């Protein structure tokens, strides 16, 4: 890959315009895709690009956010549901109407592949992030669906797998945010288009935050420093929330288990979780908070973090937690092994989780070693500055010659 200097190349006669499509928008208030766009967009702006981000909204309009162009597009959305393909098609059409000379369009998930056909046919450069193995998600959720939705989930899984193939077929470059995902894509599709570029770890807390400020926030949730286990994420079956609840209930822990997520009482899986908790007063469900200060305090002060996700590549929520170097109990899949290496405590089922909790509370793990390993992994692979430079190099290579 060609080398480029750290500032915008003078041989470019006009500023390269890139657009991010497929997130809910910035500032981020939902999940990993939004965190990625919010972190990468301003860094690329500083490196000489003109950046546009499409945002889900209630009406079409355009505005400016810290010099990043935002295009707001009406979206089919709910508390836990969007229709990504339709939203991405609308966003792409609006983008091309407003900025017909956009040079490169980056889709943050493979279900944007159908929409990506439009800029590809118009001669634009197209980059797609395949995220995790998305077509497997409906498989995990299926047991909690009604008969109609079970049938629909088969169609959804087929469509997501088709989208993955289509993304590989039409994109100029495929982004894999973990090496395990890159290996999967290369073995499944025999493609040479995939490029490994991970996420960076987002900093949530200001260094000036005092202990009294932290205690005040914790008190509002009825928590005490290092008095609870924590999970932050979407409340869906593939994230194995049920597994961690069952494992925690089997433990004799006197700590609490705090799960922060988008709970929906109408969802079958969510209802199952409430039944699973029963009358165990140690387990708390909290609505999501998008206040970085509050979320940072909750992450920093947990006794340990439980990350039971079964799918996905490099998860931004896990990286956010690693910044605070607290013990992480992680479901034993290649994605988490890749990220944490010897900075994680691994389990395969609820019995093993209960055993790991007991071992952790009885001082059988070297807390210093776990923290040092996490810190090392963040500096090695998950720093936003080198990540943004990798994107800059890739984009400039794709756009040459841009005269």
Q: Which of 105, 106, 113 minimizes the C-alpha distance to 135? A: 113
- The alpha carbon of 309 is separated from its chain's Cα centroid by a whole number of angstroms, namely 11
Specify whether the CB–CB gap between 150 and 142 falls below 8 A: yes
Specify whether the CB–CB gap between 273 and 308 falls below 8 A: no
Cα angle 237, 241, 247 (rounded to 5 degrees) comes to 130
- State residue 149's pLDDT score: 84
Pick the CATH number of 17-200+383-399 from 3.40.50.150, 2.40.10.10, 3.40.50.2000, 3.40.50.280: 3.40.50.2000
Peptide bond into 27 cis (omega under 30): yes
34/108 Cα distance (integer angstroms) = 9
The total of other beta-carbon atoms located within 10 Å of residue 190's CB is 8
pLDDT mean for each 10 residues of the chain (403 residues): 36 77 83 88 95 93 94 74 80 96 95 95 96 89 89 91 95 96 96 95 87 94 97 94 97 96 91 93 92 94 97 90 97 96 97 98 96 96 94 95 59
* Look-up of token digits 């992480």: 328
Specify whether the CB–CB gap between 212 and 287 falls below 8 A: no
* CATH class held by domain 211-381: alpha beta
Q: What is the DSSP string of 68-121?
A: EEEEEEE--B-SS-B-HHHHHHHHHHHHHHH-TT--EEEESSGGGHHHHHHHHH
- State residue 114's pLDDT score: 94
**Span(s) in the chain for CATH 3.40.50.2000:** 17-200+383-399, 211-381
* Look-up of token digits 């091309």: 96
Burial class (CB in 10 A: 0-12, 13-18, 19+), 212: exposed
Specify whether the CB–CB gap between 107 and 90 falls below 8 A: no
Coil/strand/helix, residue 53: strand
- State residue 10's pLDDT score: 38
Specify whether the CB–CB gap between 237 and 269 falls below 8 A: yes
347/344 Cα distance (integer angstroms) = 10
- State residue 85's pLDDT score: 86
Beta bridge partners of 127: 106, 173
pLDDT tens per residue, range 206-228: 888 899 999 999 999 999 999 99
38/170 Cα distance (integer angstroms) = 26
- State residue 228's pLDDT score: 98
Cα dihedral 205, 302, 263, 37 sign: positive
Peptide bond into 401 cis (omega under 30): yes
pLDDT tens per residue, range 69-122: 999 999 876 544 457 889 999 999 999 999 999 999 999 999 899 999 999 999
* Structural tokens at position 163: 């989208």
Phi, psi torsion values for 107, nearest 5 degrees: -100, 130
* Structural tokens at position 314: 């490099």
397/403 Cα distance (integer angstroms) = 13
- State residue 7's pLDDT score: 39
- State residue 322's pLDDT score: 97
């Amino acid at each position: 890959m060609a080398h480029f200097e750290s500032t915008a190349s003078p041989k470019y006669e006009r500023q390269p315009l890139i657009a991010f499509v497929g997130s809910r928008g910035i500032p981020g208030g939902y999940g990993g895709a939004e965190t990625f766009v919010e972190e990468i967009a301003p860094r690329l702006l500083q490196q000489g690009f003109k950046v546009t981000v499409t945002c889900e909204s209630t009406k079409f309009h355009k505005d400016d956010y810290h010099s990043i162009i935002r295009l707001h597009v009406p979206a089919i959305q709910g508390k836990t549901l969007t229709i990504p393909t339709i939203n991405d098609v609308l966003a792409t059409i609006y983008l091309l109407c407003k900025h017909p000379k956009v040079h490169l369009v980056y889709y943050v998930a493979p279900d944007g592949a159908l929409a990506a056909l439009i800029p590809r046919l118009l001669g634009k450069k197209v980059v797609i992030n395949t995220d995790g193995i998305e077509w497997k998600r409906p498989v995990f959720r299926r047991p909690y669906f009604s008969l109609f939705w079970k049938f629909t989930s088969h169609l959804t899984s087929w469509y997501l797998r088709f989208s993955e193939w289509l993304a590989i077929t039409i994109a100029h470059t495929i982004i894999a945010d973990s090496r395990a995902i890159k290996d999967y894509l290369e073995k499944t599709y025999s493609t040479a288009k995939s490029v490994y570029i991970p996420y960076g770890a987002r900093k949530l807390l200001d260094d000036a935050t005092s202990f009294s400020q932290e205690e005040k926030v914790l008190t509002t949730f009825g928590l005490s420093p290092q008095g609870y286990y924590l999970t932050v994420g979407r409340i869906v079956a593939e994230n194995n929330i049920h597994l961690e609840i069952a494992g925690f209930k089997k433990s004799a822990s006197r700590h609490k288990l705090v799960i922060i997520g988008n709970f929906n009482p109408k969802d079958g899986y969510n209802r199952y979780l409430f039944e699973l908790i029963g009358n165990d007063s140690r387990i708390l469900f909290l609505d999501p908070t998008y206040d970085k200060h509050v979320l940072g305090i909750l992450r920093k002060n947990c006794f340990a973090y439980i990350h039971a996700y079964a799918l996905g590549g490099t998860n931004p929520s896990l990286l956010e937690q690693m910044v605070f170097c607290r013990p992480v109990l992680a479901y034993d899949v290649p994605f988490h092994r890749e990220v944490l290496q010897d900075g994680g405590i691994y389990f395969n089922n609820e019995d093993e989780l209960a055993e790991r909790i007991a071992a952790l509370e009885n001082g059988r793990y070297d807390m210093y070693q776990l923290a040092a390993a996490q810190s090392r992994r963040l500096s090695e692979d998950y720093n936003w500055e080198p990540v943004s430079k990798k994107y800059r190099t890739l984009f400039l290579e794709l756009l040459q010659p841009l005269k």
